[in-house]
Amino acid sequence: MTIEKLQADFDKIEESDDIGTIEFVEKHFDFLISFDSSDIVEIEDVAEIFSIYYSCLGICNRWTEIISNRDKIVEFVNKLKGKREDYNELYFNIEFVYSQALLEQGNELKKTIQTLIKLNKLKPKDEDIILSLRRAKYALRSKTYKVLIIISFVIIFCSLLLRLIIDLKDFKIYTEILWIILVGVLLTQYVDNYKSNKSPAANKYT
C-alpha cells in the first residue's frame, strides 16, 4: 500500500459519507500514522485526511474516539509546524473538534477552556471559539452552583436539626440567610442555563 493508492481510494469516498470516511481512516490508521518527518509531502496529505476524519467524527458525535485519538493525531500534524502554510488550519480544525468533544463530555471543563483559549490565539475573535468559550464557562459555573446548592442544603438541614435539639434563636437567623443565598444561587444558575441553551454554539461541533 502506498500513500498515492490510499489517497486515490480515499478520494473515491462520497463527501457526504461520514461513516465511510471514519471506517476508511480507522482501517488504515496504523499505516497513516507511521510516516516520519522526512516524508513531509505524505505527512501533509495524511494530515488533511485526519482533519476531514475529525470533522466526520464530530458530525457523528463520536466524542470518545475524538478524545482517545487526539494526542497521536496532534503529534503527527505537529510535524508540519513551520514547514507548511496550512499547518495552522489543520491543527485548528482538529483541536476545535477536540474541544467540542470535551465540552460534550463535560468532565474536563477547565481543560476545555484552556484548549479554546489556545485556539483563540490562532483565530482571535472567531465566532465559534467565542460561543464555545461562553458555553464552557456556563457549564463550569453550573457545576460550581451544584456544589454550592448541595452544601447549602446540608447546612440548612443541619441547622434545622440543631433547632429541634437546641432551642436557639440564632440558628433561625442563620437558616433564613442560607435560604436567601440558596434561592439566589438557584436563580443565577437558571439564568446561566437559559443563556447557554440560547447560545448558537450549544449544538455546534465544527
pLDDT digits (tens, 9 = 90+) for 81-132: 888 888 989 999 999 999 999 999 888 888 999 999 999 998 988 888 988 8
Both 89 and 14 in one domain: the answer is yes
Q: Does some domain include residue 130?
A: no
Number of domain units in the chain: 2
Residue ending a domain, among 82, 105, 128, is 105
In the chain, what percentage of residues exceed pLDDT 90?
A: 32
Q: What is the pLDDT of residue 167?
A: 60
Residues 7 and 100 in one domain: yes
Pairwise pLDDT comparison (200 vs 25), residue with the higher score: 25
Give the tens place of pLDDT for each residue, 119-174.
999 898 888 898 888 888 888 888 887 777 777 777 777 776 766 666 655 556 66
pLDDT score at 197: 55
Q: Is residue 153 part of a domain?
A: yes
Domain range for 165? 138-203
Asked whether 35 and 50 are in contact (CB, 8 A), the reply is no
| Domain annotation covers residue 124 | no
pLDDT at 53 over 70: yes
